[in-house]
Amino acid sequence: MTTSFTVDVVGLPAPQGSKKGFVVGNRAVVVDVNKPTLSTWREDVKQAALAQRAAGAPTFQTGPVLVSLYFRLPRPKSAPKHRRIWPAKKPDLDKLTRATFDALKIAGVFRDDAQVCNLLATKDYPVAEQTPGCLITVQAIREAPKEAWTP
């Protein structure tokens, strides 16, 4: 049985963003500040993950997992053509990760993002022929025998 799930999501990665709260009548309402772009990104991730699941990819309903995220962001037009640069500006990597985890949870890839015990996340400007998106890999972490633990 395979214990790895990989999907390449094509779309514009959007960060989780901040929340904004207000009161309507006698109830509190909390909304995402960047709702349109966030909703689109979450839907892109969800649909790609559901397609992989339909093709027989595993899910991780219990146990620890390792997640690898490689975010491909749109390269600025002002960026040098022949020199390597990194996207050391917004969107924040942790907020991109949170939005992607939420979509993976909705798609049923894992039950809860608390299962993630090991995370490798990268944001980068892709080479010319790559489109913006994210390459996602989720793997089950096999538990080591108790004798192998070091306190």
Q: How many domains does the chain have?
A: 1
Global confidence as pTM: 0.83
What is the pLDDT, as a whole number, of residue 107?
95
- β-bridge pairing 4-10 and 116-124: unpaired
Percent of the chain, pLDDT > 90?
A: 56
pLDDT digits (tens, 9 = 90+) for 76-132: 888 887 888 899 999 999 999 999 999 999 999 999 999 999 999 999 998 777 899
Task: Tell me which of 3 and 43 has the higher pLDDT.
Answer: 43
Q: Which residues contact 36 (CB under 8 A, 6 or more apart)?
A: none
* Domain extent for 86: 4-148
CATH code for the domain of 119: 3.30.1330.70
* Exposure string over 66-86, b if 16+ CB within 10 A, otherwise e: ebebbbbbebeeeeeeeeeee
Average pLDDT over residues 46-54: 95
pLDDT band at 146 (very low <50, low <70, confident <90, very high): low
